[in-house]
Amino acid sequence: MPAGTRVRWAVVSATSVALVATGCGGNGGGSGGGSSDTSKTFTYQSSEPQNPLQPANANEVGGGRIVQNLFKGLADYDPSSGKLRMQAADKIDTSDAQTYNVTLKSGWTFHDGTAVTSKSFVDAWNWAASTKNNQINSSWFADIEGYADVHPASGNPTKDTMSGLTVQDDTHFTIKLSNKVSYFPYKLGYVAFSPLPEGFFKDPAGYGQKPVGNGPYEFVSWDHNSQVVTKTFANYQGVDKPKNGGVVFKMYTTAEAAYADLQSNNLDVMDQVPPSALANYKNDLGDRAIDAPQGGIQNVGFTLYQADWQGQDKAKVRQGLSMAIDRDTITKTVLQGSRKPATAWVAEGVEGYKSGTCGDFCTYNADKAKQLIQEGGGVPGNSIKITYNADGGHKEWVDAVCNSIRQATGVNCAGDPKTDFKTARAAITGHQINGLFRTGWVQDYPLNANFLADVYRTGAASNDTGYSSPEFDKLANEADQASSIQDTATGYQKAEEQLAIDMPAIPLWYYRTNSGFSTKVQNVTFDSFGNPAWTQVEVKG
């Protein structure tokens, strides 16, 4: 998801799924080992959600991290290992990688006390997939047989339900896919596949403002542009029972303000420290500083839906702009060595990652950059803007990227800051951007398919560039139908090669989690999705 929301796994009968993601944790993680108070909440740096708090309507970090704590699906990922683990599901069986039989655990309830049943999942997925409900993550259900009936490419749905979903009884249902997808269990941990209570369908808009989920935390209040308050759900049946009283997601307009609050103990856990603090945050925080691997990448995307950027000649312009960016210098200076220059569109540590897919186009070469831009007919108006959210600590590196492009090629380049993440995302998804925009991606599941199919396939939920390549789509479809996860990963490596030819987005660098926590909490660790192990954070007594 765009710097965005997530998924995980376990063992699926006849289809073994046991990947280990990049390591977790960081410096410290404990800090003290004193007594804790399980009734106390802790605060987390957040941003205003782009959309209502509906599971299929959150594919960015602001809404995604809140929703994933309010809801829990069939499975998620163990933060210590990245392995899939069962949550509401007892098991997910398949003999052919096309029909999956789900058995639910008994005893799960929503926060309103109603039971979580097979129907809770099937009804939620059908609702989310339908074009009538305009859910941003609807394409995540495209593998299921009958998706085209509820979400046709054009026109109104011909049906309200997908033929591939069948309720057997309260604890058993089947999922039949249109084609074999060997890694489909990976996807089922994504928050879009969460169940919904029966009351939701009577008032989706109301429930989007006051959600009722089945996760470890239940909704208390939402003070827009200020905070979302949650509390621990006493009847939570998951394996990750909270060791705290809840999470308060505090909205910040700048990362610098959040870091100042962290240092003064007015914020308990950060998302990422700002670039201005990277040089000193470990000294500032000591054993409360976090430096952990993360399955994420920072990109700059192009508005390929605009005529000025269309045509194969403009691919040369995009390749040239990529070669005009001195990644090595920017990551070493502006980003204080906290990032590693990207050489591919998939993050390191992810199954199927292949270094160097971008080739020379991700290597700084001012002369070649100017040549390619000239061969491609030049940058429209010889001027570009890079849109970004001003509350995310991006100004420094955006300015550095623009300086590099300007000095190497003579192309005018400037940052285009939007007030906050919600505003930036609304402009990006609403196709109100002219030129380039920041687009980060953090794994939803640690397989290269997530960084490729879910971002660059035609019509994918997070295809913000408008990229559409018949060749990429063909290779991605072939990879989906491979007989094993390993063959799927290899197939997607071939699809990724097409991105070097078309350059719909420029890979910049791979993320790490550079964060920290206050003196009021302990046992703070981060997983490879860039999330803290929410339920394991302890608030000191």
Q: Using H for helix, E for strand and C for coil, what is the string for 81-139?
A: CCCEEECCEEEEEECCCCEEEEEECCCCECCCCCECCHHHHHHHHHHHHCHHHCCCCHH
Same-domain status, 157 and 303: no
477 token code pair: 């479809």
Asked if residue 138 has pLDDT above 90, the reply is yes
Question: Of 197, 212, 237, which residue sits at a domain end?
Answer: 197
Assign 461 a pLDDT band (cuts: 50, 70, 90): confident
Predicted local distance difference test score (pLDDT) of residue 153: 86
Alpha carbons 17 and 24: distance in angstroms, whole number: 19
Residue 238 lies in a domain: no
Asked if residue 328 has pLDDT above 80, the reply is yes
Residue 346 lies in a domain: yes
Same-domain status, 172 and 302: no
Residue 90 lies in a domain: yes
Three-class secondary structure of residue 526 per DSSP: strand
Assign 32 a pLDDT band (cuts: 50, 70, 90): low
Same-domain status, 499 and 393: yes
The pTM (predicted TM-score) of the whole model is: 0.81
Question: Of 153, 178, 197, which residue sits at a domain end?
Answer: 197
What is the average pLDDT across 414-419? 95
Asked if residue 401 has pLDDT above 60, the reply is yes
Instruction: Give me the number of domains the chain comprises.
Output: 2
Mean of per-residue pLDDT scores for the chain: 92
Q: Domain with 151 in it: what CATH number?
A: 3.90.76.10
Give me the domain span that covers residue 457: 293-512
Alpha carbons 61 and 67: distance in angstroms, whole number: 10
Predicted local distance difference test score (pLDDT) of residue 11: 26
Residue 6 lies in a domain: no
Residue 437 lies in a domain: yes
Residue 43 lies in a domain: no
Residue 128 lies in a domain: yes
Would you call 202 exposed, middle or buried from its count of C-beta atoms within 10 A (0-12, 13-18, 19+)?
Answer: exposed
Same-domain status, 297 and 151: no
Residue 247 lies in a domain: no
Predicted local distance difference test score (pLDDT) of residue 229: 98
Alpha carbons 68 and 210: distance in angstroms, whole number: 15
Same-domain status, 456 and 344: yes
What is the average pLDDT across 315-334? 98
Question: Of 169, 197, 225, which residue sits at a domain end?
Answer: 197
Same-domain status, 402 and 506: yes
Alpha carbons 119 and 201: distance in angstroms, whole number: 12
| Portion of the chain with pLDDT greater than 90, in percent | 84
Same-domain status, 354 and 471: yes
